[in-house]
Amino acid sequence: MTETLPPCPACASGHTYQVDSLLICPECGHEWQPGAPADETSDDAAEVRDSVGNVLQDGDTVMVIKDLKVKGSSSVVKVGTRVRGIRLTSGDHDIDCKIAGIGQMGLKSQFVKKVGD
């Protein structure tokens, strides 16, 4: 009973997996409904740009350009912290990410700069 799942429409990775009715790409974090049109995803949303105007995409690596206090904690995200594998969301904090030593959090794109790996 081998079921072949389609590759990720965002990054073309073949390592997709299914959770309930969603297909998920572990490499870029993209989620989609099987059989849904490829253009139905967040491409219709406004582009998310970093502090210097570079267009950000899911899976990019960014660098924090300002010390950021973590709300509800005494922790601080320091300038120069690299954040890998970001995921774009809608709302005030338009970047969802995981930062080493702090954990899952949301960032505003105005406080990051895209880094070329």
pLDDT of residue 117: 60
pTM: 0.59
User: Which has more confidence, 2 or 62?
Assistant: 62
Indicate the residue type of 69.
K
CB 77 within 8 A of CB 102: yes
Distance CA 20, CA 18 (A): 6
> Nearest CA to 93 among 80, 82, 105, 106?
106
pLDDT score of 77: 93
Helix (H) or strand (E) holding 61: strand 61-64
Backbone angles phi, psi at 66, to 5 degrees: -150, 145
